[in-house]
């Protein structure tokens, strides 16, 4: 191999394996916990207007579980079970949301991934550590995206594993848009989703949802490492009375996949 080629290879390997610089912006901000959502706590007090003050990229849901939330470029979008997308009003509220001020430190090429599992494996192979949080954004044309949204619930609220049985699934092919979300470390089990949690929005902002599967070719992922985590818990009797002592990882797996 020519010496110049060896030098380029060495530089590429260094860029892929060297630690990220510390996140210079605000921490990852989260309202409530994933286990509270799994338990059916679907009404929160945090408004979309206040959520936007904490960052410009994120995901979550809305009170009464009324669709999927996608926060992109500082705007909060609501993906209804009908598939229609609209900007959520600042007065709208959320029972669970995660957001950050996206400040990508690296762009990693993604040549090909046939499904979400391959994408996760490829990403994990190129991250310097699995012990911190990451915000991710992938923009471009996707061969396939499978996304979902859930219907608005009525009281008494069922647990999430029951509510998603009536989800609407959207199959996109050769679609332009943005996949965004977070990779969380395993030790946040019960608080957030360990591993990858991704949502999707089409380029024209008219369709999207929670990503169940996807495929990609010749795209890049923007990665923002996050070393600070802020968790804000609800201050109401419904949250106080939840039974959050049980391991809900089995339910979470069914809900996410």
pLDDT per residue over 39-50, tens digit each? 999 999 999 999
**Four-residue CA torsion sign, 88, 223, 182, 253:** positive
Tokens 């600042």, residue? Answer: 90
- Partner residues linked to 170 by β-bridges: 147
What's the pLDDT at 20? 58
pLDDT at 234 over 80: yes
pLDDT at 14 over 60: no
What's the pLDDT at 12? 45
| Portion of the chain with pLDDT greater than 90, in percent | 89
Q: What angle do CA 34, 209, 131 make, to 5 degrees?
A: 45
Confidence grade of residue 8 (pLDDT, cut at 50, 70, 90): very low
Per residue in 189-204, pLDDT tens? 999 999 999 999 999 9
Per residue in 59-98, pLDDT tens? 999 999 999 999 999 999 999 999 999 999 999 999 999 9
Q: Which of 20-29, 49-58, 137-146 has the lowest mean pLDDT?
A: 20-29
Domains in the chain with CATH codes: 21-256 (3.30.1330.80)
pLDDT at 11 over 70: no
What does the alpha-carbon distance between residue 225 and residue 191 come to, in Å, rounded to a whole number?
Answer: 19
What's the pLDDT at 257? 78
Q: Which helix (H) or strand (E) holds 34?
A: helix 34-38
Report yes or no: 125 and 198 within 8 Å, Cβ to Cβ: no
Mean pLDDT across the chain, nearest whole number?
92
Confidence grade of residue 231 (pLDDT, cut at 50, 70, 90): very high
Quick count: other Cβ atoms within 10 Å of Cβ 9? Answer: 11
Per residue in 180-191, pLDDT tens? 999 999 999 999
pLDDT at 156 over 70: yes
pLDDT at 10 over 90: no
pLDDT at 13 over 60: no
Confidence grade of residue 26 (pLDDT, cut at 50, 70, 90): low
Closest CA to 40 of 251, 253, 257, 256: 251
């Amino acid at each position: 191999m020519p010496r110049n080629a060896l030098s380029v290879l060495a530089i590429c390997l260094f860029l892929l394996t060297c630690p990220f610089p510390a996140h210079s912006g605000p921490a990852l901000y989260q309202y409530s916990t994933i286990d509270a959502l799994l338990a059916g706590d679907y009404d929160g007090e945090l408004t979309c207007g206040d959520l936007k003050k904490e960052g410009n990229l994120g995901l979550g849901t809305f009170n009464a579980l009324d669709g999927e939330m996608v926060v992109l470029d500082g705007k909060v979008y609501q993906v209804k079970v009908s598939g229609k997308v609209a900007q959520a009003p600042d007065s709208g509220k959320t029972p669970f949301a995660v957001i950050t001020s996206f400040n990508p430190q690296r762009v990693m090429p993604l040549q090909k991934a046939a499904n979400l599992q391959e994408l996760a494996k490829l990403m994990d192979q190129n991250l310097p550590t699995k012990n911190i949080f990451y915000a991710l954004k992938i923009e471009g044309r996707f061969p396939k995206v499978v996304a979902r949204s859930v219907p608005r619930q009525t009281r008494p609220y069922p647990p999430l594993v029951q509510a998603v049985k009536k989800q609407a699934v959207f199959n996109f092919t050769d679609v332009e848009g943005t996949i965004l979300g977070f990779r969380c470390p395993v030790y946040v089990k019960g608080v957030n989703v360990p591993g990858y949690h991704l949502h999707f929005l089409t380029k024209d902002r008219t369709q999207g949802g929670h990503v169940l599967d996807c495929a990609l070719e010749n795209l890049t992922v923007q990665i923002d490492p996050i070393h600070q985590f802020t968790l804000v818990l609800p201050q109401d009797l419904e949250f106080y009375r939840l039974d959050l002592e049980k391991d809900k990882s089995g339910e979470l797996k069914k809900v996410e996949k």
